[in-house]
């Protein structure tokens, strides 16, 4: 049945009239996502591409369209406010694509959302897709196929790489979640592992981590306690020097913590199949699932 988004999801796009927002909204609609509303302050009353009504506020949009998922393309200066606005309006799931939001803004927005029962995915992420049903993000839809593997990743293009491999070995994906490359994010590996464990469609999980932080270690702790599904894990950044931020704000080895080797070690100890090369993620999962 997939996790987070499905055919019942009613999607609202915050920042729908911007360059990024409009381009990706079209791609989502073309993919079949049920985009019911857009929000751009000051442009309420307009219609996006003659099909999607635009509102001044999320509250108004929700009242008129019953949107329950928001996709956020708002610039960094206003993105944390956009997350809070979505939460205040009762949005169930806010997926924030924006890169470069101040960390303390994200901390406040995530806390605010949690207090109102809203799950935040991202920021600085490619979004969430349940293939052939609902795409809420900027990932290329065509590499995905509906299938049985859940994908969780801190990266963008590296996720597409893994997804492409899973499609080629004919396993496909139940849902692929880009959790984001920032230091502080709304939804973690562990959160997604919990959801995939409950999902009937998902028979295995691919976890793509990278250097920095301890979310892979937290995931390992959870996996070690009899996780019901096989997990294939890859950690990017074995060659990364300490103290340097590798593109993503969160990808940094600080004070000797957050190295790839340590993450690989604890994940393997917790029972995950840890692969050295990102090129064999798909075939490794296929072997495990006997496909």
Partner 1 sequence: MKLHEYQSKELMRQYGIPVPESAVADSAEAAEAAAVALADDGYTRFAVKAQVHAGGRGKGGGIKLADSPAEAGKLAGEMLGTQLVTPQTGSQGVPVNKVLIEGGADIAKELYIAVTIDRSRRCPVIIASSEGGMDIEEVAATQPDKIYNEWITPGWGLQAFEAAGVAYALGLTGKSQRAGAVVIQKLAHMFLDLDAALAEINPLIVTSDERVMALDAKITIDDNVLFRRPDLEALRDQSAEDELEVAAAEHGLSYIALDGTVGCMVNGAGLAMATMDEILLAGGQPANFLDVGGGASVERVAAAFKILLQAPKLNSVLINIFGGIVRGDRVAKGIIEAIETIEVAVPVTVRLQGTNAAEGRQLLRESSLEFILAETLDEAARKAVEASQ
Residues identified as active-site: 248
CA atoms of 264 and 248, how far apart (whole Å)? 19
CA atoms of 280 and 260, how far apart (whole Å)? 17
DSSP code at position 241: P
Q: Are 56 and 44 in contact (CB under 8 A)?
A: yes
Q: Based on CB atoms, which residue is closest to partner 1, 241 or 290? A: 241
Report the nearest approach of partner 1 to the CB of residue 133 (Å): 19
Per-residue binding string, partner 1, 72-111, x by CB under 8 A, is: ----xx----------------------xxxxx--xx-xx
| Contacting residues for 243 by C-beta, under 8 A, at least 6 apart | 252, 253, 254
Angle between helices 260-269 and 215-223 (to 10 degrees): 10
Report the nearest approach of partner 1 to the CB of residue 2 (Å): 21
Q: Which stretch binds partner 1 (CB under 8 A): 3-11, 50-58, 148-156, 224-232?
A: 148-156
Report the nearest approach of partner 1 to the CB of residue 35 (Å): 17
Percent helix, strand and coil across the chain, each rounded to 5? 35, 20, 40
Does residue 116 interact with partner 1 by CB under 8 A? no
Helix or strand holding residue 35 (H, E): strand 35-39
Per-residue binding string, partner 1, 252-281, x by CB under 8 A, is: ---xxx--x---------------xxxxx-
CA distances from 102 to 80, 97, 183, 188, 250 (A): 9, 14, 10, 19, 12
- Of 118, 153, 176, 201, the one binding partner 1 (CB under 8 A) is 153
Q: Based on CB atoms, which residue is closest to partner 1, 65 or 273? A: 273
Q: Which stretch binds partner 1 (CB under 8 A): 4-12, 43-51, 57-65, 251-259?
A: 251-259
Omega of the bond leading into 123 within 30 degrees of 0 (cis):
yes
Report the nearest approach of partner 1 to the CB of residue 233 (Å): 13
Closest CA to 74 of 101, 48, 50: 101
Report the interface residues with partner 1, using CB under 8 A.
23-24, 27, 76-77, 100-104, 107-108, 110-112, 138-140, 142-143, 153-161, 164, 181, 183-184, 208, 210-211, 213-215, 218, 234, 236-241, 243-244, 246-251, 255-257, 260, 276-280
């Amino acid at each position: 049945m997939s996790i987070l988004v499905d055919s019942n999801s009613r999607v609202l796009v915050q920042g729908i009239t911007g360059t990024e927002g409009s381009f990706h909204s079209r791609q989502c609609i073309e993919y079949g996502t049920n985009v019911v509303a857009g929000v751009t302050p000051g442009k309420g009353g307009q219609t996006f591409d003659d099909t999607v009504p635009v509102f001044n506020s999320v509250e108004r949009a929700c009242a008129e369209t019953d949107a329950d998922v928001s996709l956020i393309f708002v610039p960094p200066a206003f993105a944390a406010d956009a997350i809070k606005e979505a939460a205040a309006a009762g949005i169930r799931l806010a997926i924030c694509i924006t890169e470069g939001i101040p960390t303390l803004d994200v901390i406040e927005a995530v806390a605010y959302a949690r207090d109102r029962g809203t799950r935040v995915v991202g920021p600085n992420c490619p979004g969430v897709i349940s293939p052939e049903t609902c795409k809420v993000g900027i990932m290329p839809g065509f590499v995905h196929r509906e299938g049985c593997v859940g994908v969780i990743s801190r990266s963008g293009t590296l996720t597409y790489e893994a997804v492409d491999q899973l499609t080629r070995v004919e396993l496909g994906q139940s849902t692929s979640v880009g959790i984001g490359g920032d230091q502080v994010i709304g939804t973690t590996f562990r959160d997604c592992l919990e959801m995939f464990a409950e999902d009937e469609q998902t028979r295995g999980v691919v976890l793509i981590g990278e250097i920095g932080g301890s979310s892979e270690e937290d995931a390992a702790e959870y996996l070690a306690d009899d996780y019901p599904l096989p997990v294939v894990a890859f950690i990017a950044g074995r060659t990364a020097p300490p103290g340097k931020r590798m593109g993503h704000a969160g990808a940094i080895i600080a004070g000797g913590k957050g190295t790839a080797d340590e993450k690989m070690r604890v994940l393997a100890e917790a029972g995950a199949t840890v692969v050295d090369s990102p090129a064999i993620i798909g075939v490794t999962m296929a072997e495990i699932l006997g496909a």
